[in-house]
């Protein structure tokens, strides 16, 4: 018997590896001799660094950088097992978690710390950087990130333009002569799970600005500034970023990375699937287990369980895909047409969120054990290969 365990993290409860460990415990209570292949997953958001570090035998590196509100913060990035690849979550340096609801200001917030994380990774000798977008406090189009990497933005009088989305309209000149030369030798893969462009009614400011503290008036200013920023980048660098799909991710950091590095945007879970070699590990499996904190109709729009289900379908459509979740939302019926076999909740009783988060590991173990007992009923004694289905 072979089981592949490829869950995402359960936010604020368990890392992806902890979920996989709990699944393994439940399965081995029923199938003690089974083969377990654990592949901790992520979709480019929170948990991507930990998942890829766990999957490749890498390490987490702690560094001090500039936070979104211009103050020092402790951030981290992952150095993967090959020693040549780094993985960064921009939220670790420039995330909304560093702000409180009453002091968020996307006019002022900067992505400078994300650029500092990139520099720290380059100092480690890496030549491939995976960057997860999401959870940002910023709306600066990656201006701060670019400044940290040596790019200079000046106004019509030759003075440095302040950091933040509220000052982008002042940019008259962009000087790339002092950019870190290592950028040209480094491959950038950007994990992105949104398709919003940089500007317009579906852009970074209009869609994501309000959750970062932007008032309707601020949204208008921010969108106008990003438009002027994009025009200046095209005028000086000859690069069009205004309407690139995904350019509006993380306050426009997606567009900024495409303008100032060799970045390619990809669906986050696809990057993780490829880097963990998930498809090869699924070959010969009797069942695949996946999951994340919440599963609903939105799961099919690039979330980890969906990615796992699709890879399994390509490798071997007959292999059952079983998903676990802390919360099962509306519209999961659509997932059964997307190669999901069954979806189970892990809660044992009605309880407060704090208790549910604390008991996550136990819930995953018990749910997996019960699923394993059902699977065991499907194994016929006359089946010499001992297959489930």
Find the CATH number of the domain harbouring 208: 3.90.1510.10
Question: For 329-348, what is each residue's pLDDT tens digit?
Answer: 999 999 999 999 999 999 98
Residue with tokens 């380059």: 122
Q: Are residues 140 and 204 in the same domain?
A: yes
178 with 143, same domain? yes
Pick from 269, 304, 320: which residue ends a domain? 269
Using CA atoms, how far residue 105 sits from 148, 280, 306, in Å, is 20, 46, 34
Query: Are both 343 and 242 inside the same structural domain?
Result: no
* Residues 75-95: tens digit of each pLDDT: 999 999 999 999 999 999 999
Instruction: Note whether residue 388 is domain-resident.
Output: no
For residues 192 and 254, give the distance between their C-alpha atoms in angstroms, rounded to a whole number. 8
CATH of the domain at 332: 3.40.50.10350
Contact 131, 90 (CB under 8 A): yes
CA 312 to chain CA centroid, nearest Å: 21
Verify that 74 and 102 share a domain, yes or no. Answer: yes
Q: For residue 15, what are the domain limits?
A: 2-40+287-377
How confident is the model over 337-362, as a mean pLDDT? 88
**DSSP 8-state class, residue 205:** I
Confirm whether 275 is domain-assigned.
no
Q: Per the domain annotation, does 384 fall within a domain?
A: no
Domain count, the chain: 2
CA–CA separation, 310 vs 294, rounded Å?
18
pLDDT at 365 over 70: yes
Please list the alpha-helical segments (H only) found in the chain: 16-28, 48-56, 90-94, 112-123, 143-148, 216-237, 249-260, 268-276, 278-282, 304-315, 353-358, 360-377
pTM of the model: 0.84
% of the chain beyond a pLDDT of 70: 97
Whether residue 264 sits in one domain with residue 150: yes
Beta-bridged to residue 37, according to DSSP, are: 4
CB 50 within 8 A of CB 15: yes
Q: Please say whether the beta carbons of 292 and 9 come within 8 A.
A: yes
52 and 29 fall within a common domain:
no
Q: Per-residue pLDDT tens for 146-182?
A: 999 999 999 999 999 999 999 999 999 999 999 999 9
In a domain, 386, yes or no: no
Same-domain status, 359 and 329: yes
């Amino acid at each position: 018997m072979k089981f592949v365990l490829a869950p995402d993290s359960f936010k604020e409860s368990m890392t992806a590896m902890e979920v996989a460990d709990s699944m393994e415990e439940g399965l081995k209570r029923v199938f003690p001799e089974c083969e377990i292949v654990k592949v901790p997953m992520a979709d480019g958001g929170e948990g991507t660094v930990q998942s890829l570090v766990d999957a490749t035998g890498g390490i987490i590196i702690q560094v001090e950088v500039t936070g979104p509100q211009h103050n020092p913060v402790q951030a981290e990035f992952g150095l993967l097992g090959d020693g040549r690849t780094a993985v960064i979550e921009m939220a670790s340096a420039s995330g909304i978690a560093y702000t409180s609801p009453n002091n968020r200001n996307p006019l002022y917030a900067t992505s400078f710390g994300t650029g500092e994380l990139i520099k720290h990774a380059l100092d480690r000798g890496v030549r491939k950087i995976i960057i997860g977008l999401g959870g940002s406090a910023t709306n600066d189009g990656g201006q701060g990130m670019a400044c940290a990497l040596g790019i200079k933005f000046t106004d019509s009088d030759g003075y440095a333009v302040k950091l933040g989305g509220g000052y982008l309209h002042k940019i008259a000149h962009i000087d790339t002569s002092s950019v870190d030369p290592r950028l040209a030798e480094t491959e950038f893969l950007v994990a992105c799970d949104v398709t919003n462009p940089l500007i317009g009614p579906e852009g970074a400011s209009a869609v994501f600005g309000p959750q970062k503290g932007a008032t309707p008036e601020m949204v208008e200013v921010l969108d106008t500034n990003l438009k002027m920023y994009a025009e200046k980048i095209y005028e000086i660098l000859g690069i069009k970023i205004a309407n690139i799909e995904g350019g509006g991710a993380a306050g426009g950091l997606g567009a900024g990375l495409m303008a100032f590095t060799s970045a390619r945007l990809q669906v986050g879970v696809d990057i993780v699937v490829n880097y963990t070699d998930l498809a090869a590990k699924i070959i010969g499996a009797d069942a695949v287990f996946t999951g994340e904190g919440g599963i609903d109709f939105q799961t099919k729009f690039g979330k980890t369980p969906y990615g796992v289900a699709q890879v399994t379908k390509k490798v071997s459509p007959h292999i059952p895909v079983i998903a676990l979740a802390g919360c099962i939302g509306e519209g999961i019926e659509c997932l059964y047409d997307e190669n999901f076999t069954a979806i189970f909740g892990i809660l044992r009783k009605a309880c407060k969120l704090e208790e549910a988060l604390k008991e996550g590991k136990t819930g995953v173990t018990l749910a997996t054990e019960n699923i394993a007992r059902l699977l065991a009923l499907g194994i016929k004694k006359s089946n010499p290969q001992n297959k489930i289905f």
